[in-house]
Structure 1
Amino acid sequence: MKKPIIGITLDSEDPGAYSNMPWYALRQNYADVITQNGGLPIALPHEPEMTDHYLDLIDGLVVTGGAFDVDPAMFGATSRHSTVVTKDKRTAFERNIAKAMLKADKPVLGICGGQQLLHVILGGTLIQHIPDEVENALAHEQPNPRTEAGHDVSVREGTLLHRIVGTSTLPVNSAHHQAAKDVSENITVNATAPDGVIEGIEDNRYRFCLGVQWHPEYLISDGDRKIMEAFIQEAAK
């Protein structure tokens, strides 16, 4: 049986450390979890004008996270928090390919920063820095390892996420200083943290459009395994 081809967006870095030239990066577990669930992972360089070619090639898309932020101008903000760091070419590519995949109704999974980009594409806005906007906020940039849970989330019944994980509470790892804020009429919030921060979104106009603020590729729970499994199964259809 043909394996579904899953495009994974790369991170990008300026010269230094690994190479004295600009370089791409991807944690191995993003690819490993796709392979383990029967998919064929392919890394996607940031070529915004090549979107149509990538679209013809891949059956599903994972928009990954990274230590950077969506440009606040994309969601209509008139100011930028001092902590905001952007990677404009990466964001332009991820926006283009995610929009194209959704238009073609191919499965899209946004992880951490990928969830935030998906939220903006679907018409939402972002909290630019959680500690400044959320009273008594949890440590969403958890101090313990990402292989452990930082906190739990409540999963909303009746959502795609709830149908996948089959539980109302899920332990998650947490590595973000921004989060989804205002929602559009197309966005369904499917998970929240105890401090009220939005942890998951979906858009039911599409057969699989799911964003999670945590990192299910670490497989720290059975729910994480089910998310990755459901995404690959949908891409295989």
Structure 2
Amino acid sequence: MTFPTIGITLDSEEPGGYSAFPWYALRRNYCDAVGRAGGLPLPLPHHPEFAGDYLDRLDGLIVTGGAFDVNPTLFGATVHHDRVRLKERRTQFELAMITGALERNLPIFGICGGEQLLAVALGGTLIQHIPDEIPAPLAHEQSNPRNQAGHEITITEGSRLAAIANCRTLAVNSSHHQAVKTLPEEVIVNAIATDGVIEGIEVPGRRFCLGVQWHPEFAINPADTALFHAFIEASRP
């Protein structure tokens, strides 16, 4: 069997903690989830100038999450919330990868912050801080461990996500203070939380162009595992 090569974007950190020099980071469960689903995981350092060369060698792209935010300037906002934290080079790299993958119709799976950047690349906008824009919001930055559920979502009937998850409601983990706000017509919302926050997006007609706001790499339910299997199957050459 051929193992499709799956690029996984890394996080980056400034000196401190692991090293006295700048370093990359990635939770092991991202790579483990890809491997279990039948893919060959390949973490990607942040070199925007190499985006085309990376994409020439990849069969699919996963854009991961992290404790930082998309620059509001990228979706036309003139005011930046004081909770917004940027990692400019990472975002520049991931945006180049997403743009190139969209041009090639390469399968894309956006997770948490990766879903948000995918939405922006497709022409959408973001809520910069959920408590400021959503009345009585859920705890989207859950206090319990990330390998446990934080709240429930409802999956859109007829969506690709619904076919993959094979359910209408799902208990998910949650670790974000931003969310998708608006989307162009060709992008559909495939999941929503009970407080109205968008929890997933997809683009019909593409091989695989789907994002979720939660972290399925923790595999806390069968739908999480099914998502990775569906993505890997769509990535097979």
TM tier, smaller: over 0.9
CA contact (8 A) 1:122 1:186 kept: no
Is 2:63 aligned against 1:63? yes
CA contact (8 A) 1:111 1:215 kept: yes
- The runs of 4+ residues in structure 1 deviating greater than 2 Å are none
State the partner residue of 2:132: 132
For structure 2, the residue ranges without an aligned partner over 5 or more in a row are none
For structure 1, the residue ranges without an aligned partner over 5 or more in a row are none
Number of aligned residues: 237
> What is the CA distance between 1:236 and its match in structure 2?
1.3
> What is the CA distance between 1:169 and its match in structure 2?
0.5
State the partner residue of 1:36: 36
- Residue type matched to 1:19 in 2? S
| Distance in 2 separating the partners of 1:225 and 1:37 | 8
> What is the CA distance between 1:203 and its match in structure 2?
1.0
The share of aligned pairs that are identical, in percent, is 57
| Distance in 1 separating the partners of 2:199 and 2:153 | 7
Q: Over aligned residues, Cα RMSD in angstroms?
A: 0.7
Is 2:200 aligned against 1:200? yes
| Distance in 2 separating the partners of 1:112 and 1:183 | 16
| Distance in 2 separating the partners of 1:9 and 1:174 | 20
| Distance in 1 separating the partners of 2:86 and 2:135 | 25
What is the TM-score when the length of structure 1 is the normalising length? 0.99
* Cα shift readout 1:169-221 (whole Å, capped 9, x = no counterpart): 01100000000001111210000000000000011142210000000000001
> What is the CA distance between 1:67 and its match in structure 2?
0.2
* Cα shift readout 1:18-59 (whole Å, capped 9, x = no counterpart): 111100000000000111111100010000010110011110
State the partner residue of 2:83: 83
- Residue type matched to 1:106 in 2? L
1:1-237 alignment, distance < 5 Å: 1-237=1-237
- Equivalent residue of 1:189, what SS? strand
What is the TM-score when the length of structure 2 is the normalising length? 0.99
| Distance in 2 separating the partners of 1:199 and 1:37 | 23
* Cα shift readout 1:59-106 (whole Å, capped 9, x = no counterpart): 000000000000000000010000000000000000010111111111
| Distance in 1 separating the partners of 2:19 and 2:186 | 42
- Equivalent residue of 1:181, what SS? strand
